[in-house]
Amino acid sequence: MPTGIVIPVVEEERISRVEVDHFTDYQKVIGGYFQVIELANPSASLYMDEEGKMKGLPLNHRATLLMWLHNPAFRQRDYVCGPALLLGQPDRGGVTQSVPQSLEALLFGTVKYKFEVQTVDDPDAWNSNQKRYDDWVDAYNEALSLAERWMAVERVRVVPA
């Protein structure tokens, strides 16, 4: 049974682990029919209510940050409304996998965070500064803000400090 991460809309509510076995379990977490956005580095799947915007569900800031950082095609173009569920991508047989261990460790087991960038002039190196964050949401916000302001940034990631 795959383990996922529930990302509630209300930011005061902690993210939590959940075991899901069937698509009806996904629907219980999401609150309706779902759509899936594929994420990269690490490979994961973000499930959300496919009608969240039409239903007027509130913005899920944390899920949107994850989507924007791990799938830049959506950056500043789309957002997540309502609760979200983070899982691994399906295997070759189409079976949903647990959320990647590295992402779970980042979101649950990290004390301090930093972000790193790759730039067009040095695409093989990850660069960082001395700034550290106590919360992954703050690190994601700052990383994405820098990527928007600095045109030389090609890729950005949040990692343990």
The per-residue pLDDT for range 8-17, each reduced to its tens digit, is 999 999 999 9
Domain-by-domain residue ranges, the chain? 3-101, 110-160
Which pLDDT belongs to residue 33? 94
Neighbours of 60 (CB within 10 A): 25
How does residue 38 score in pLDDT terms, banded at 50, 70 and 90? very high
How does residue 45 score in pLDDT terms, banded at 50, 70 and 90? very high
Angle at 27 between CA 21 and CA 28, to 5 degrees: 85
Burial label for 71, CB within 10 Å (0-12, 13-18, 19+), is: middle
- Residues 6 or more apart from 62 whose CB is under 8 A from it? 7, 11, 15, 84, 137
Which pLDDT belongs to residue 79? 98
3-state secondary structure 50-110: CCCCCCCCCECHHHHHHHHHHCHHHCCCCCCECCEEEEECCCCCCCCCCCCHHHHHHHHHC
Which pLDDT belongs to residue 44? 98
* Contact predicate 76/85, CB 8 Å: no
How high is the mean pLDDT of the chain?
96
- Output the CA–CA distances (angstroms, integers) from residue 59 to 6, 48, 49, 64, 81, in the order listed: 15, 11, 12, 8, 4
Q: What are the pLDDT digits (tens) for 120-154?
A: 999 999 999 999 999 999 999 999 999 999 999 99
Which pLDDT belongs to residue 58? 98
In a 3-state reduction of DSSP, which class is residue 121? coil
Residue 80 phi/psi, 5-degree rounding, is: -105, 130
Q: What are the pLDDT digits (tens) for 65-97?
A: 999 999 999 999 999 999 999 999 999 999 999
- Give dist(CA 55, CA 58) in Å, integer: 9
Which pLDDT belongs to residue 101? 97
pTM of the model: 0.95
Which pLDDT belongs to residue 136? 98
**How would you classify the pairing of strands 34-39 and 122-127?**
unpaired
Which pLDDT belongs to residue 155? 95
| Over residues 46-72, mean pLDDT | 97
